[in-house]
Structure formats: C-alpha cells, structure tokens
C-alpha cells in the first residue's frame, strides 16, 4: 500500500491488562473508533505506545493484529527508535515481515550523533528496506536535530518521503517548503501547534490526543484543509487545554486517562511508568473533565472530501 503522508495519523497507545499483558480487545475498540472517525493511517511503537518497554514478540503481535484489523483501510506504520544501526535494521526487517506498510524513524537513541552519523544511520535503514519512511525530527525530547542540510542528503533515498515535524519551531514548516517544495511531506508532531502548522502548509498531523478524541482531531484537519478556518478554530480553542497534555513527560499517563474518560481506553501503563494518583490525577481529570463537559457539536466533517487522502 503506498502512503500518501497526509491527514491525521494517530500515534496509538498500547493497551495493557491489569496483569501487564497486551489488551488487544481494548486496542481494537480504540482502533475502530479511530477508523470510524476518519483517520488516514496509524502509527505503532512510538513513545506514546510505550515501545521502549515492549518485547519484540509483543511488537509482532501488535503489528500483525493491527494489520489484520485495519484490513487495508489505512496504512499501518511502525516506529523505530533504537540505539544501534544493527538493531534499527533488524526492526525494519521485522516491520516488513509483520505486514507494516511504512516506517517512522528517530535518530539513534542514547547517543547524540553528529551530522555524518545521523545521515549515515537513516540512509542505512532506508537502503535496507523498500518501505516508505517518515523521519521523526524531535530535538527537544531526543537531543538530535535533523537539519535541512541533513535532509539535502537524505532525499537521495527515494523512500524517505516525510518528516514528523516536532522541533517546536513553526517557521521550520516554511523552511522545509522553501527548500524542498513538496518532496518531503510535513506532518506536525506537536498537538499544541497542529492548527498553526497546518495553516502554514503542513500536510498532516501525527496526533496524540486523537487517541481519546479522534473525531475532533480529524474534524480540525479537514476543516482547515477545506478552508473552513473559523469552524476549525472554534474546535481547536476548545481542544487546546487537553492538547497541552501531549507536551509533558507523563503524556502516556495523561492521554491514557483521557481515553478512559471518553470510554475507549484504560489507565494501565507499564513500569517504570505508574498510573496517576492523588492531586496530580485530580488535576489532570479536572482538565479533561472540563473539556468533556463542553464537548462541541461537530459539523459533518466526514463529508468533506480532500484530494489524496484516505477520506
């Protein structure tokens, strides 16, 4: 399946049971809500998916289950976040064997690679696979910036096609477009900047709070792309207090708590993460609860047909 790299692509949470096992039944419930709400792809194994504490066997089960459940409706993309090139190459091979249709790749973990090392790492993975690739550029959290000069070299690989833009610098959207035109598709990776980046020309949104609020997320995207800015802005302004839960070290716990409040998730996380408790939990519940209480009525956004998406 070719990937268009446009639209809303949820970075899905991984669901666990009280016994710390994969909860595929609950994962499927959430996934069906995402598909019914009109998402354009799904991403597994990201930070929000707690991939660093998943075994290879669990990743395999998750990817194969998702591929079967999605049944070709949208592409399934696997994130790669490894410390060594050897491990990244192995993950790329696994992704292909398990049926994933694309890759999202972070720079090397636990080592601040320089320009040459970062480019060589990405090219090695790209050259090893025929899967389309989105580079994850998040220097704030992962300390390595994928610069425009790096992209100049990376676009030599035809399957490096997109970037998850998480630099927190909205002007980087314009820099990418000025430098590369539409050669590299740009997907906003920071929920609190999504509408702003879409207005500046970003092609899509790799979203976090979509896990709990899929309809509102897709509605904002489609309304913006259809030029219905005031309608999108009203929803986005309502959404922002919850979207800010995405830019915190406990985003997994916060977003999973939001999933509980909207009926499509659980609070179970895998240690060393712990479920929220006490005043912190009350504070986050209050933020979510205030938004749920005044959840806006949405226009018929699913009837908006956009070119080159899965809409």
Ordered strands of the 76-80 beta sheet: 7-10, 204-207, 185-188, 160-165, 133-137, 102-105, 76-80, 42-44
Residue 311 pLDDT more than 60?
no
Asked if residue 52 lies in contact with residue 81, where contact means CB atoms within 8 angstroms, the answer is yes
Instruction: List, in order, residues 6 or more apart from 304 with CB less than 8 Å away.
Output: 222, 223, 225, 226, 311
At 197, list the tokens: 């980046």
CA dist 266 and 205 (Å) reads: 24
The CATH number for 228's domain is 3.20.20.70
**CA dist list (Å): 70 to 32, 36, 298:** 8, 11, 25
Task: Assign 310 a pLDDT band (cuts: 50, 70, 90).
Answer: low
> Is residue 239 a part of any domain in this protein?
yes
Mean pLDDT rounded to a whole number for the chain:
97
The confidence score (pLDDT) of residue 200 equals 98
> Is residue 212 a part of any domain in this protein?
yes
In the predicted model, what is the mean pLDDT of residues 254-274? 98
> Is residue 309 a part of any domain in this protein?
no
Residue 309 pLDDT more than 70?
no
Q: Report the DSSP beta bridge partners of residue 79.
A: 104
Q: Report the DSSP beta bridge partners of residue 77.
A: 43, 102
The confidence score (pLDDT) of residue 2 equals 81
Lookup result for tokens 């609070």: 267
Q: What is the percent of the chain with per-residue pLDDT over 90, rounded to a whole number?
A: 95
Total of domains in the chain: 1
Residue 1 pLDDT more than 50?
yes
**At 250, which helix (H) or strand (E)?**
none
In the predicted model, what is the mean pLDDT of residues 214-218? 98
Asked if residue 24 lies in contact with residue 44, where contact means CB atoms within 8 angstroms, the answer is no
> Is residue 35 a part of any domain in this protein?
yes
The confidence score (pLDDT) of residue 306 equals 85
The confidence score (pLDDT) of residue 98 equals 98
Task: Assign 131 a pLDDT band (cuts: 50, 70, 90).
Answer: very high
Residue 249 pLDDT more than 50?
yes
DSSP 33-92: HHHHHT-S-EEESSTTTTGGG--HHHHHHHHHHHHHHHTTSS-EEEEE--SSHHHHHHHH
> Is residue 155 a part of any domain in this protein?
yes
> Is residue 308 a part of any domain in this protein?
no
Asked if residue 225 lies in contact with residue 200, where contact means CB atoms within 8 angstroms, the answer is no
pLDDT single digits (tens) 70-99: 999 999 999 999 999 999 999 999 999 999
3-state secondary structure of 301: helix
In the predicted model, what is the mean pLDDT of residues 197-222? 98
> Is residue 136 a part of any domain in this protein?
yes
DSSP state at residue 201: T
> Is residue 132 a part of any domain in this protein?
yes
In the predicted model, what is the mean pLDDT of residues 236-245? 98
Lookup result for tokens 């929920």: 191
The confidence score (pLDDT) of residue 275 equals 97
Torsion angle of C-alpha atoms 39, 146, 90, 162, degrees rounded to 10: 30
Higher local confidence (pLDDT), 112 or 40: 40
Task: Assign 307 a pLDDT band (cuts: 50, 70, 90).
Answer: confident
Residue 114 pLDDT more than 50?
yes
Residue 240 pLDDT more than 50?
yes
Q: What is the pTM of this model?
A: 0.96
Range of the domain at 189: 7-303
The confidence score (pLDDT) of residue 191 equals 98
Task: Assign 174 a pLDDT band (cuts: 50, 70, 90).
Answer: very high
3-state secondary structure of 280: helix
């Amino acid at each position: 399946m070719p990937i268009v790299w446009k639209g809303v692509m949820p970075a899905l949470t991984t669901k666990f049971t009280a016994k710390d096992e994969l909860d595929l039944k609950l994962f499927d419930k959430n996934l069906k809500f995402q598909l019914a709400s009109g998402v354009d792809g799904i991403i597994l194994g990201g930070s929000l998916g707690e991939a660093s504490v998943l075994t290879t066997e669990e990743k395999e089960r998750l990817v194969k289950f998702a591929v079967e459940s999605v049944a070709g409706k949208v592409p399934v993309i696997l994130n790669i976040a490894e410390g060594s090139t050897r491990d990244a190459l192995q993950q790329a091979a696994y992704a292909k064997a398990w049926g994933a249709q694309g890759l999202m790749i972070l720079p090397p973990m636990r080592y601040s690679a320089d320009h040459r090392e970062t480019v060589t790492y990405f090219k090695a993975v790209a050259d090893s696979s025929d899967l389309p690739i989105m580079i994850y550029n998040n220097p704030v959290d992962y300390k390595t910036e994928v610069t425009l000069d790096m992209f100049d070299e990376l676009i030599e690989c035809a399957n490096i096609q997109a970037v998850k833009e998480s630099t927190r610098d909205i002007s980087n959207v314009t820099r990418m477009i000025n430098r590369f035109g539409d050669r590299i598709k740009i997907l906003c990776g920071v929920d609190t900047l999504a509408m702003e980046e879409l207005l500046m020309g970003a092609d899509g949104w790799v979203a976090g709070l979509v896990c709990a609020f899929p309809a509102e997320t897709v509605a904002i995207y489609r309304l913006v792309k259809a030029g219905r800015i005031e309608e999108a802005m009203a929803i986005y302004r309502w959404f922002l207090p919850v979207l800010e839960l995405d830019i915190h070290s406990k985003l997994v716990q916060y977003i999973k708590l939001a999933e509980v409040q909207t009926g499509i998730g659980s609070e179970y996380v895998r240690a060393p993460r712990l479920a929220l408790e006490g005043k912190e939990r009350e504070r986050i519940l209050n933020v979510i609860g205030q938004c749920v209480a005044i959840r806006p009525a949405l226009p018929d956004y699913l009837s908006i047909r956009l070119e080159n998406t899965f809409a």
